[in-house]
Amino acid sequence: MNLEVFESRFWAITSQPNDTDCSNVEGVCPLQCDSFDLDCYVIDNHGFVLVSKQQNDAGRFLGEIDGSVMTTLIRMGMFKRVSLFDYQAMCKMNLHSVSSARPLLSSFYSLASALKWFLSNFVLFLLEFNICSFWHPEHFTEAKPSFSVSSSHKKKGDILQPCDTEYPSFIYEPSVKETNSIIKCGRCQKMFVVQQIPDSNLLMLVVQADCDCSRQYPPITMDPKEVKYNASVKCDRMRSQKIRRRPESCHAYHPQENANDCGGASGLSLSVSLFLTCLSFLALVSR
């Protein structure tokens, strides 16, 4: 089942018909997820959105879309935050010097850069200049420079260096099957209901959409952060990184393998009948 079929079935199931019996239901009834004041999501056990009214939300983390709901779910124990580490990450190198003294050769470097820029532009001017236009003005064409001023201010690529990074991850607590809460956001309140979808690792979340809580609850991002080690911890980290060991024994034998079949390709012989057939065919074609 692809995502489009899954979405269509989800919207069909979550739309209550107008003749629904609402006599024993408190609150608004019937409810439909396509209503403007409701946001319905299907999220997995790590908080990533699978189905949403906004197609751009698919694949995004719920905390980035609605930080208030994700923060409340973490406080209620429905999601647990864990830290993951990447020991093979690449981080930008900080080229900012901590010294307040100016480089002694800064003026010479500036003069050399200006001279280099002038010479390069002068050479380009000579290459693009049409000398024949002095003798044949009727064939004169205006030369268009192929360079721009912004090329001289081109930003250099960031220098990367190996580092360790830490980034958060969130895991659903399966003991909590269903929960709901009201989030106070200044002048309004946001209500939400979340329930586990049976026989799956998915959750259905219905959120009140007419209350904005972005000022009180910033989004929760999963951006990695560089781990800074002091001298002692850095040495311990280097000692703990053991070299990968080779297997203790050599697995060169298998009971279901026939060793006599090994190297049988070198014993292939030429088929005499096939060889004679090919020669006869070539003789007929050559005639």
* Contact status, residue 80 vs residue 173, Cβ threshold 8 Å: yes
Confidence of residue 45 (pLDDT cuts 50, 70, 90): very high
What pLDDT, on the 0 to 100 scale, is given for residue 146?
44
pLDDT of residue 48: 94
Q: Side chain identity at 102, as an amino acid letter? A: R
pLDDT at 273: 80
Share of the chain above pLDDT 90, in %: 17
Per residue in 141-196, pLDDT tens? 454 444 444 444 444 567 888 888 889 999 999 898 899 899 998 888 898 999 99
Q: Does 34 have pLDDT greater than 70? A: yes
The helix or strand, by DSSP H or E, that contains position 10, with its residue range, turns out to be helix 3-13
Q: pLDDT exceeding 70 applies to what percent of the chain?
A: 70
Is pLDDT at 127 greater than 90 in this prediction? no
| pLDDT value at 85 more than 80 | yes
3-class SS of residue 8? helix
Angle at CA of residue 134, ends 131 and 140, nearest 5°: 80
**DSSP H/E element including 43:** strand 38-43
Q: Which two tokens stand for residue 170?
A: 């969130």
pLDDT band per the 50, 70, 90 thresholds, residue 62: very high
Domain map of the chain by residue range? 38-93+160-222
Q: Is the pLDDT of residue 270 over 70?
A: no
Q: Give the containing element (helix H, strand E) for 113.
A: helix 106-128
- Distance between CA atoms of 68 and 219, rounded to whole angstroms? 8
Considering the chain, what is the average pLDDT of its residues? 77
Query: Which secondary structure element, helix H or strand E, spans residue 204, and what is its range?
Result: strand 203-208
d(Cα 215, Cα 79) in Å, to the nearest integer? Answer: 22
Task: Name the residue among 179, 168, 185, 209 with its Cα closest to residue 47.
Answer: 168
Amino acid sitting at position 175: S
